[in-house]
Amino acid sequence: MDIRAQISMVFHLDKCIGCHTCSIACKNIWTDRKGAEYQWWNNVETKPGTGYPQKWEDQDIYKGGWYKDTDGRIHLKGAGKKKGLLNIFHNPSMPTVDDYYEPFTYNYLNLVEAPAGDDQPTARPVSLITGEPMDVKMGPNWDDDLSGTPDYARNDPNMAALSAAERDAMFQLERMAFFYLPRICNHCLNPGCVASCPSGAIYKRGEDGIVLINQKVCRAWRMCVTACPYKKSYYNWHTGKSEKCILCFPRMEAGYAPACMHSCVGRIRYIGVLLYDADKIEATASADEKDLVGKHLEILMDPFDDRVIRSAKANGVPDSTIKAAQNSPTYKFIKEWGMALPLHPEFRTLPMLWYVPPLLPVMASVKDTDGAQKDKLNPIAKTWSDNWLYDTSTEELWGTVEQARMPLKYLASLFSAGDTTLVSDRLKRLMAVRIYRRWKTVGDVSEEKMSRVLKETGLTQEAAEGIFYLTALAKFNDRFVIPPAHREQAMEMIEFTGDVKGNTGFGFREAPSRGM
């Protein structure tokens, strides 16, 4: 047993309103630089949709992540020692700027400096790469809220899991549903980027599991861009270095939450410590596809277990980190309550950011009302037109989950490598908490029904109360539980901060301009 600590995040997707505040907070701090304009270390996608970069989930195109060979071992799909070095002169599966979008700004100065004329001056878009006028054809969230569905949502790679009829049903106007998927680097346990880097510039920090790229060691071979199945390693065309989400480690070390989490309007993000067993990483990543999520859950260890604590201490994990792990909101969501799932576990990188799948688009089935049922309903709360009913009733227990408006197979393709039972388990738990709270506050659900629901989902009343608290009431310090900074491990003690004084953003010690 080799216990290490990892800072992990949970996204409660039911609470995400798709406002992109996280993306903007991140952009303002880290990627508002030349060459990084197109990079969104944090981005929010509408699902179904093709995402950013276009169709990043389709590994037939981008060859990211790991695959399990017939010999039972895992190999990088598009990089690695053999493939990576053979393709070092030209990386065949690497996305180019057109797969993301050409960054642009507007020629605002023209609005004030244009000479007098017959027409109103305009601010034309200009490319941030070439500086020439351009037509804006693509952006990082071009498919927001299902806009351009024929081009984007219908080409979602996850649609492959659905039959043609199911696919069409998703896009009937009255059934259409979508949800938001905020994405940052997953700070994986078996990161493809680290494994693919020929220079050895990328590493995982032992203390907190943050995956970083050493800008001085990076030699622009760009294999990490290919190898990351989430496309969260970005090549800076101006400095010739790859960059990625750093989980705001300078903020974390100073006790602040990452910018994306701190700015989250919907309060969907939870950060906490997980203890994991590093000895089992390889076996877990090589598990059969159907066992991946289960095995992944197994290497997250119980922070109250004596053996785990002893092994952690032997590894130099400080007491405060263990204490934070015992208080961790992410451990509760992921392990204790079984509410969260990793994004695309089939990429086998063992991502450490987890998602509580969204219940709302699933259960919000719109039915033709029959008169009898309509009479029983509160007209304000439940009916939004005379003929259609937005059904959030709890009359049929799991009916709405099983006959979901957002097909479970679609969610399963995103969060559980196709296993719908894992998704429906989590959705049922979300529903059970709602039924429990309804019993408690509204009182129109019988106690017998409430206990049956909790029993069927394996929750206790305390657990349901805990889920309700963390979901709806949690204060900042309940959602953000990391150990206090250990000064002796903080970056400031290794690098003299005066060296980077005067440099904004990424903190280059010398101007990141090229010229050689």
Partner 1 sequence: MNLSNIFLFVGLPYAALLLFVVGTTQRYRNKGFKVSSLSSQFLEGKSLFWGTVPFHFGILVVAGGHLTAFLIPRAVLAWNGDPLRLMILQITAFSFGLSTLVGLIALLARRLTNTRVKMVTTRMDLFLEVLLLAQVVLGLWVALGYRWGSSWFAADLSPYLWSLFKADPNITAVAAMPLPIQLHIIGAFLIVAIFPFTRLVHLLVAPLHYLNRPYQRVMWNWDRRAIRDPATPWSKTRPKNN
Residues that bind partner 1 (CB under 8 A): 4, 76, 80-81, 84-85, 88-92, 94, 96-97, 129-132, 190-191, 194-195, 197-200, 202-207, 215-216, 218-222, 235, 237-241, 278, 281, 315-316, 318, 488-489, 491, 493-496, 499, 508, 510, 512, 514-516
CA 200 to chain centroid, in Å, comes to 25
In the complex, minimum distance from the CB of residue 256 to partner 1, in angstroms, rounded to a whole number = 19
DSSP state of 154: G
Q: Which is nearer to partner 1, 153 or 225 (CB)?
A: 225
Q: Which is nearer to partner 1, 313 or 382 (CB)?
A: 313
Identify the residue whose tokens are 């995040």. Answer: 9
Q: Which is nearer to partner 1, 318 or 418 (CB)?
A: 318
Q: Which is nearer to partner 1, 111 or 493 (CB)?
A: 493
Cα dihedral sign for 155, 156, 157, 160? negative
Element (H, E) at 411: helix 408-415
Q: Which is nearer to partner 1, 33 or 205 (CB)?
A: 205
CB 146 within 8 A of CB 176: yes
With 0-12 / 13-18 / 19 or more C-beta atoms within 10 angstroms meaning exposed / middle / buried, residue 133 is exposed
Q: Give the alpha-carbon dihedral of 479, 294, 79, 224, to 10 degrees.
A: 0
In the complex, minimum distance from the CB of residue 298 to partner 1, in angstroms, rounded to a whole number = 19
Cβ atoms within 10 Å, residue 368? 8
CA separation, residue 94 to residues 43, 193, 288, 462 (Å): 19, 13, 28, 49
In the complex, minimum distance from the CB of residue 100 to partner 1, in angstroms, rounded to a whole number = 9
In the complex, minimum distance from the CB of residue 349 to partner 1, in angstroms, rounded to a whole number = 11
Both structure tokens of 111: 């609005």
In the complex, minimum distance from the CB of residue 88 to partner 1, in angstroms, rounded to a whole number = 8
In the complex, minimum distance from the CB of residue 49 to partner 1, in angstroms, rounded to a whole number = 23
Distance between CA atoms of residues 177 and 170, nearest Å: 7
Whose CA is closest to 208, among 295, 272, 296? Answer: 272
Distance between CA atoms of residues 501 and 1, nearest Å: 42
Q: Which is nearer to partner 1, 100 or 178 (CB)?
A: 100
Distance between CA atoms of residues 179 and 241, nearest Å: 34
Distance between CA atoms of residues 474 and 10, nearest Å: 14
390 φ, ψ (degrees, to nearest 5): -90, 100
In the complex, minimum distance from the CB of residue 289 to partner 1, in angstroms, rounded to a whole number = 21
Q: Which is nearer to partner 1, 276 or 439 (CB)?
A: 276
In the complex, minimum distance from the CB of residue 234 to partner 1, in angstroms, rounded to a whole number = 9
Q: Which is nearer to partner 1, 181 or 188 (CB)?
A: 188
CA separation, residue 269 to residues 233, 259, 478 (Å): 22, 11, 11
Q: Which is nearer to partner 1, 4 or 335 (CB)?
A: 4
In the complex, minimum distance from the CB of residue 480 to partner 1, in angstroms, rounded to a whole number = 22
